[in-house]
Structure 1
Amino acid sequence: MIRSYILIAVLIILADSNPVQVASKDWYKNSLVYQIYPRSFKDSNGDGIGDLNGITKNLVHVAEIGADVVWISTIFSSPQKDFGYDISNFTNINEEYGTLEDFNKLIEKARFLGIKVILDFVPNHSSDQHKWFNQSIHRIKPYDEYYIWRDAKYDEHQNRLPPNNWLSNFGGSAWQWNDIRKQYYLHQFAAGQPDLNYRNDELQEEMKNVLVFWMDRGVEGFRIDAINHMYEDDQFRDEPLSNIPGVPSDDYDFLNHIYTKNLPETYKVLESWRKLMDDQSPGNTKMILTEAYADFDLIIKYYLSGSTVPFNFMFISDLNNKSTAVDFKRSIDRWMNNVPNGTEYVANWVLGNHDNHRVASRFGEKRVDQLFMLVTILPGVSVIYNGDEIGMVDREFTYEETKDPAGCNAGPERYWLKSRDPERTPFQWNDGPNAGFSTSSSTWLPVNENYIHLNVEAQKYKAYSHYNILTRLIELKKKSVIEYGTLETALYCSKCSVTENVLGVVRRHRSYIVVLIVNFSDTEMIVVDIGMWLNISEPLRVYTSSKGSNLSPRQIVELRSFSLSASVSAVLTTPNLLN
């Protein structure tokens, strides 16, 4: 009996002292996912490269923002030809980043802070240094069919040619000759990243074992990299020309990729992974985030195959700093209207990632808070990339400085169109050496010179900052009105004429109302009648607003003549939501 009382007392103490991660099938539905690019987040050992211990020691930063999930980009054993996306061992940690024991400590710290960890899963290819590939080269069964091998073609002069015209994402032919096996292998990315063969049942089982390995170590889900590249046409037909003007013949965009992307078999494999994860953890949904730059209808299909978050890239691919309120409303409504029926399906909004220019560079520094407001006020899952919370911007690189293989392969004339280095520079923690990222004399990529004034430490203690606005918004995201409320998007109508410049987003739940108003004009102040426009009669107070609004937090606004300066956005709420 005494032992029982002691056990109960310990459990009560633990429950009071730590955030609790409750097993639930619905936990993800209103979550904020924070992506960490580990090579650039925090260096703990002074070698100029970020690592697992650096992440573990700074998970408090992620918790303070209010994130529910941390998505860690690839950390597995790799020769780093594509900085980790060329994996030589799917079940071990790259030595630059640490060890499995370091990973266990990261999981433990995340649990303590109430943060769920998801990892990159890179199913399309391995490294050419993976043991499977070496055995496949030598035709050792069953590995002989783990990769895509094809015989050469020959022209009339008996010159050896690739099997077809397929091109690599990184430029040039997607086929590489191997002199031992005397065949070409397919690589849709770098030559050091041979494509895996999902028409082989043994390979599929190997990849399922990888998922189980990491789930057994406490991983709560996976972001599946380049999922729509997994299957290729089994007849290996030439792809048609894209006819895009000005694209060189060795550039990936020269072809229309109807035989190497978005094949229907991909969805069947995803279904098998969903079932595996559900069986592994009944009653507690494992999160699946799928990356596919594809047509809208093809992305939506991933919902029905088991993806929790088929990445919605509208803020990256469809909208920019020239987009109007009409453009934003059309994109938001299109996504919301096409999320499948069913309680398990929710929308998602991806603000940025390690493969695309930073949000502050795409939209401009004045628009950063506007995007924060949209991705947190809209219903569903929000995804942000480390550094965007403080408005980090791209750093310009010369060709000589460029390390990304996509940029290097494009050559000195076009590298800037392809390189992903600008958005991958080290995280800016403070105004100390290397922005507090590393004590090394040099870092793997240079730190952006603007770190002196643009860093986390500086923004935490400013009355206005991107960091403080985002953390405030995430507090609001946790409220029931955002989690369960209805959604309305509206363009402002002045004297029955719809303006391109003003967008309203309204969330309602019980007696609570949240209103987001965005002025897309770069030059004109707008004055709107919120009451008539959005059918609101309750008093509204300012919850937060972007820089230059001249609005004070908690200020009561005039519904009939609410004014908003150029390029400014504001979130208003009913007073019962304010702390």
Structure 2
Amino acid sequence: MESGRLDLETHAEVNGTNKPTAATYKSIPDDDTNWQDKKGENIGDMGKPENEEIDDGAKEKMLSEEVKISPKKDVSQVIFISENGDAKIDVAPKGPVLSGMGKEELMKYANDPFWIRLRWFLFIGFWLLWLAMLLGAVAIIVMAPKCTAPQPKTWWEKSPIVQLEPDDLKGKDAISLSHLLDRLKNQHVSVISLSNILKSTSPGHVTDFRDVDPSIGMENVKTLIKLAKEKEQKVLLEIDPNHSGIDHPWFNRSQKLEEPYSNYYVWANHKVGTDGNNNPPNNWLSTYGKSAWEWSSSRGQYYLHQFDKSQPDLNFNNSLVIEEFNKIFSHWLDLGINGFRLGFTQHLIEDPALQDEKMSTNAAQADEYESLVHVHTRDRVENAQVLRIWRENVINKTKEDGLFALRDDIASDILAVFNEKNKLVDLPQSSMFLMHADNGITAKALQDGIKPWRDHVYNSSKASWPAWDLNGDKTALRNRTLPAVAESLTLMSLLLPGTPVLKLNDVLHEKDSEKTAFATISEKRNDEIFLNGDFHSDIVNGTVFVYTRLKSGLPGYLVAYQSSEHPAVIDLSGIPHVPKEVNVLAYSSNYLSEKKAGETIETKLSSTRVPIAPKSTLVLTFVPSKDEK
């Protein structure tokens, strides 16, 4: 036996051979006591021959329980070595092993003031950091810009407005008035506007702003207002404050220089011409042409009339006249009127210095209205000051639920001035293209009339919900166009972003027993998609005016008006978000003109092949596609 090794004979097979194998081990250093297996047996016994005892002193030394494991000692490990077919056991040193601190050492540090302060600092710091992060998250949520929720639409934005003329009310008692309101409600009309009902010698020639045409009767008007309130309908009154009739008591007293009426109208002295004759004060012209001044022999002065000479202009440079109309508005509000539509307000204020107008560049004759630039008599900024006083009165008396609107077309730049600080005009309009529409109105005329208003006014920071007046103060739509064209244009206007203003026969020209296309479409105006949805317009096939209404998560709608006199099959698949299949919701009655007897309308159509009849309107619904086209 070699020094330091013990040979062991065994018959175990090693490396595939039955040759005897010798196992050796190195002697354990006297100072190494870390030799105890998991069961508490001495690893040193592995080399004990049978029936041979190990020295008890050495064993006791190796198993000393008093010696601690030192991190400085090398821990040995057993290594099996194959050497010339022999298996040998070697004990080699292992890397240092660190041991944890005992309880006494831990308590020593635990009670050390430095470590106590450090732990408290870290503990408090953690919670302060957590609280700061929580407050920061809350601040981000509260202060981060949000998508502004759209303002809820008002009653005058949801329903079409239907004008009632004196002939629509004459001879009607409470029962017939109630029936009329019910018929309108069945067509989903909840706003009625009383037009030209004030006491007058003729339309526009008012003799009393507080009374109505005797053929209608004030009691019937009160009954109408009461019935409308019961049926949850609103009633508006149309007034033209710019002028009165020449037979108005105010004018008669003003001619006689009776106070306080002497300055209720615009009076001016004559000018002496080179020929010695008396001439008008300046070159101002009436909208009908020729001088806007008329001589009053009883007063010995000229009075201003921007319209007919029997319609003298009231003087709104006089605060008494402004306040007079405030009293008039209050009178009607007390009777239950819900708001006003005012006409000809662009002419309220004139230049008090009476300066001459400059000549226009238009190719117009000398006495024509278009021959002058009307900066001294029209669209003056002072008009807004007068309107603001009236609006505040109306809003205060109605607790901010009253309508204050104009019947006049208003340019976007003027509207921007009016609404610069606070909204002044509800339902501003630019509907001249509709007021002059006839059988020949084209898709381009519709596009050019509607799109600029949407682009420059509705989508701006001064956004306003416009009125689309199909009649205005001109000839009614059904007197300018064929009935079928009037119906189609009316249906086309119903789903525009704005409020259509219609005549009674635009709404009630069909049997009450039928659910009309008007009722079907008008009902949709209360849906979110039409109150706050997106608007896109286009021209298809060169003759079809098309617009869509879209809002995320809702069905899409498409309205098409064929301006041509010929039928067509149009491809709508190029319109953004229009899918391959569309559904028919409603159509004008002349859409059936191309159908043969007994032939029915298909309710589902391919968007690439949609038939449309001449001068007809078609309303489609669809599930918007996700891909932008």
Question: Could you say which TM-score interval applies, normalised by the shorter chain?
Answer: 0.7 to 0.9
**2:364/2:370 contact within 8 Å kept:** no
**Structure 2 CA distance for aligned equivalents of residues 296 and 561 of structure 1:** 39
Instruction: Tell me the equivalent position of 1:93.
Output: 212
Which of 546, 568, 586 aligns to 1:544? It is 586
Matches of 1:88 and 1:283, distance apart in 2: 30
Aligned to 2:314: 196
Q: Which runs of 5+ in 2 are unaligned?
A: 1-151, 625-629
Query: Is the 1:300–1:310 Cα contact (8 Å) retained in structure 2?
Result: no
Q: Cα offset for 1:213?
A: 1.1
Q: Higher relative CO (CA 8 A, sep ≥ 6), structure 1 or 2? A: 1
Q: Residue 507 of structure 1 corresponds to which residue in structure 2?
A: 549
How far is 1:171 from its partner? Answer: 4.7
The 1:508–1:524 alpha-carbon spacing in structure 2 relative to 1, beyond 3 Å, is same
Q: For residues 246 and 253 of structure 1, do their structure 2 counterparts lie closer, same or farther at Cα, with a shift above 3 Å needed?
A: closer
2:177 corresponds to 1:177: no
Cα distance in 2 for partners of 1:513, 1:325 equals 21
Mapping of residues 123-138 of structure 1, within 5 Å: 123-138=241-256
Q: Counterpart of 1:542 in structure 2: which amino acid?
A: V
Aligned mate of 1:62, from 156, 169, 184? 184
Q: What's 1:32 paired with?
A: 160
1:310 aligned onto 2:432: no
Quote the RMSD (CA, aligned, Å). Answer: 3.1
Q: Is residue 264 from structure 1 mapped to residue 381 from structure 2 by the alignment?
A: yes
After TM superposition, list the pairs within 5 Å mapping 1:214-233 onto structure 2: 214-233=332-351
- In structure 2, how many angstroms separate the alpha carbons of the residues matched to 1:104 and 1:317? 31
Identical residues among aligned pairs (%): 25
Give the structure 1 partner of residue 106 of structure 2: none
Which segment is superposed worse, 262-271 or 129-138?
129-138
Q: CA deviation at 1:563?
A: 2.6
- Residue 562 (structure 1) aligned with residue 610 (structure 2): yes
Deviates more, 1:344-353 or 1:114-123: 344-353
Q: TM-score, normalised by structure 1?
A: 0.72
Conserved in 2, the CA contact under 8 Å of 1:519 and 1:526?
no
For 1:531 and 1:228, locate their aligned partners in 2 and report how far apart those are by CA, in whole Å: 44
Q: Does 1:358 align with 2:476?
A: yes
Q: CA deviation at 1:553?
A: 6.1
- SS for the counterpart of 1:540 is strand
Q: Deviations over 1:223-270 (max 9, x none)?
A: 1011111111222233345576675x5554454433221111111211
Deviation at 1:61, TM superposition (A): 3.2
Q: In terms of mean alpha carbon deviation, does 317-326 or 159-168 score higher?
A: 317-326
- Work out the CA distance in 1 between the residues paired with 2:357 and 2:574: 55
Secondary structure of 2:374's counterpart equals coil
- How many angstroms apart in 1 are the aligned matches of 2:364 and 2:441? 25
Partner of 1:72: 194
| CA apart distance, 1:130 | 2.7
CA contact (8 A) 1:136 1:144 kept: yes
Residues 199, 207 of structure 2: 8 Å contact kept: yes
Structure 2 Cα separation of the partners of residues 94 and 198 of structure 1: 26
Structure 1 gaps of 5+ residues are: 1-23, 46-50, 391-455, 493-498
| Partners of 2:570 and 2:612 within 8 A in 1 | yes
Q: Which runs of 4+ in 1 moved over 6 A?
A: 51-54
Alignment partner of 1:471 is 2:519: yes
Taking a change above 3 Å as real, the CA distance of residues 53 and 243 of structure 1, as seen in their structure-2 partners, is farther
Q: Answer yes or no: is the 8 Å Cα contact 2:209–2:328 preserved in 1.
A: yes
1:43 and 2:86 aligned:
no
Residue 460 of structure 1: aligned partner: 511
Report 1:109-148 matches (<5 A): 109-148=227-266
Match of 1:277 in 2: 394
Paired residue type of 2:215: E
Residue in structure 2 matching 1:480, options 520, 528, 536: 528
Q: TM-score of the superposition, structure 2-length normalised?
A: 0.67
Matches of 1:74 and 1:472, distance apart in 2: 30
For the 8 Å contact 1:86–1:126, the answer to whether it is kept is: yes
1:71, CA displacement in angstroms? 0.7
Contact (CA 8 Å) 2:412, 2:457: kept in 1 or not? no
Contact 2:410 2:428 in 1 (8 A): no
* Equivalent residues in 2 for 1:383-422, closer than 5 Å: 383-389=501-507
Distance 2:619 2:480 in 1: 23
Could you tell me whether the CA contact under 8 Å between 1:522 and 1:566 is conserved in 2? Answer: yes
1:336: how far off?
0.9
Partner of 1:288: 404
Distance change in 2, residues 1:554/1:482 (3 Å): farther
- Is 1:346 the equivalent of 2:465? yes
